[in-house]
Structure 1
């Protein structure tokens, strides 16, 4: 329900500024969340059985094909953890990588929520365009995290298992 009427020019300016603000604010907020916030396996980050350890996302959404064109958030913000590719397989690095996939997933789920605020100053059709934009921009990135995390967890589990057998 549109409460504020703006000209087309000011609506575009307001929409652009609002998205810039929401994207940056949410990214900075989640970047500053303490690591312990992501250590528990809560309902959001838990891999579901139907995801088949992430393979569901490759089979149905061809993640490997489009993941390469998604901008790396750490490069955009100038800080954070680089998740474009696995650099090595050290335990602490893998644990950090897994934690950062959770941070990225939370960031993009939260980035969808403000889209409904755009109905306050946009006509209904434009509000739905904003919701569509939020979904189209964020869901692919969430899918990449949900694809990568179980694969990383599997590597980490194998590494820990082989390390415990040695001792």
Structure 2
């Protein structure tokens, strides 16, 4: 039994409005943070040994076959980082891509817990649908970041290793 009761049409309207505000609000909030907040991995974004540098996600889900079919959030926000054309020769671009990958992962992690607020006005079954929605919409994007970031890091490391060392 929800804490607040509304008619079905109001519940549907509130759900759509709440998800829209959550997606836009959390995305905008993280986009407004300086890039240096995402320069290093945290306990959340660190790629674990068992992930085999992201390859586990390809083995389990065949991620490289569908990852490019999902929408890119940067097309919605003017401040977003455009990722469609990988500039593999630019260390600066790759490092920025890695930073933005962490930002994107954080965004999608932070979009999951608010699904619990939907239990306030939805029937229990609908609240669970909202939790499932949050997981279904965000986990694929989290996995994409966790698959791509180690590959980008290896590429950036290769470019760094190839650079001529300056003599002192």
Same fold (TM over 0.5): yes
Aligned to 1:83: 83
Aligned to 1:14: 14
RMSD of aligned C-alpha atoms? 1.4
Superposed displacement of residue 22, structure 1 = 0.2
Aligned to 2:158: 158
Contact residue 98 and residue 153 of structure 2 kept, 8 A:
yes
Specify whether residues 121 and 103 from structure 1 end up closer, same or farther in structure 2 by C-alpha distance, changes over 3 A only: same
CA distance in 1: counterparts of 2:111 and 2:104, whole angstroms = 10
Instruction: Count matched residues.
Output: 167
Superposed displacement of residue 77, structure 1 = 2.2
Specify whether residues 118 and 111 from structure 1 end up closer, same or farther in structure 2 by C-alpha distance, changes over 3 A only: same
Contact residue 54 and residue 148 of structure 2 kept, 8 A:
yes
CA distance in 1: counterparts of 2:90 and 2:166, whole angstroms = 16
Instruction: Map Cα deviations across residues 89-122 of structure 1 (whole Å, 9 max, x no partner).
Output: 3010000000000000000000111100000000
Superposed displacement of residue 129, structure 1 = 0.1
Give structure 2 stretches of 5+ with no counterpart.
Answer: none
Provide runs of 4+ in structure 1 moved above 4 Å: 164-167
Give structure 1 stretches of 5+ with no counterpart.
Answer: none
Name which of structure 1's ranges 35-44 and 116-125 shifts more when overlaid on structure 2.
Answer: 35-44
Superposed displacement of residue 164, structure 1 = 5.0
Aligned to 1:142: 142
Aligned to 1:42: 42
Instruction: Kindly indicate which of the two structures has a greater share of residues assigned to helix.
Output: 1
Which runs of structure 2 are paired with 1:22-101 in the superposition (5 Å)? 22-101=22-101
Instruction: Map Cα deviations across residues 11-61 of structure 1 (whole Å, 9 max, x no partner).
Output: 000000000000000000000111111112211121111111111111101
Name which of structure 1's ranges 34-43 and 98-107 shifts more when overlaid on structure 2.
Answer: 34-43
